Chain A
Amino acid sequence: AQTVTQSQPEMSVQEAETVTLSCTYDTSESDYYLFWYKQPPSRQMILVIRQEAYKQQNATENRFSVNFQKAAKSFSLKISDSQLGDAAMYFCAYSSNYQLIWGAGTKLIIKP
């Protein structure tokens, strides 16, 4: 069965600095998709970035980028120039079909 592991329950970063959130997954599939979702306090969850496993190029969305290492089954999220609005729970997720497998989340704290 596929699993997603986020080993950092909580991370903190100084405003304007860079932080990397870790995610590893286990699968026997060769074709799949990976996602990072953000859940701000008392607000709805939104998609931050997604990566197709068949693409070697790492996805980027403005200040958010991923480091996708397919052989190592690693999918980390880098947030550059951290802002107070980035404070949230971040969830890594995997999908190879209609199911979405979620990690336990990492709480990101931004220090002003």
Chain B
Amino acid sequence: EAGVAQSPRYKIIEKRQSVAFWCNPISGHATLYWYQQILGQGPKLLIQFQNNGVVDDSQLPKDRFSAERLKGVDSTLKIQPAKLEDSAVYLCASSLVLMLGTGTGELFFGEGSRLTVL
């Protein structure tokens, strides 16, 4: 079974430029998450989708970040314009179920996209 695919793995841009990250979740997983992980910290949820609807985007900086999950499968996270503090690893994860305590309740992660903003 294929895992969560993310691209690009690495991206270096200058501040005020834009960048987009792509994620393809495990087939059949209805729930998709975008996390921001700054070095030495735990993951911070940016946005959570259930199919193509947004469950939680309370911590997404909407003035510069946007995300979409058209057709309820793959997803794109965009940053425009980027700031220095956006340097982080952007993790995409998917799960079979929305309620993490039910069923297997497991998140499957991609390898992440490391962004460096100069």
Contact = CB atoms under 8 A, between A and B. Distances in A.
Interface stretch (A68-76, A77-85, A90-98): A90-98
B68 interface: no
A105 B35 CA distance: 15
B41 A47 contact: no
A87 B99 CA distance: 30
Contacts of A56: none
Nearest to B3: A44
Interface stretch (B19-27, B71-79, B100-108): B100-108
B81 to A, nearest CB: 28
Contacts of B109: 44-46
Contact of A99 (B42, B50, B56, B110): B56
Interface in B63-118: 91, 93, 98-101, 105-107, 109-112
A97 B93 CA distance: 17
B107 A47 contact: yes
Contacts of B4: 44
Interface residues of B, number: 26
B45 interface: yes
A44 B4 CA distance: 10
Nearest to A43: B111
B101 A33 contact: yes
Given A44-B111, A102-B43, A103-B42, A33 B105 contact: yes
A109 interface: no
A56 B12 CA distance: 48
A37 B43 CA distance: 11
Interface of A: 31-33, 35, 37, 42-47, 50, 52, 91, 95-100, 102-105
Interface of B: 3-4, 31, 40-45, 48, 50, 55-56, 91, 93, 98-101, 105-107, 109-112
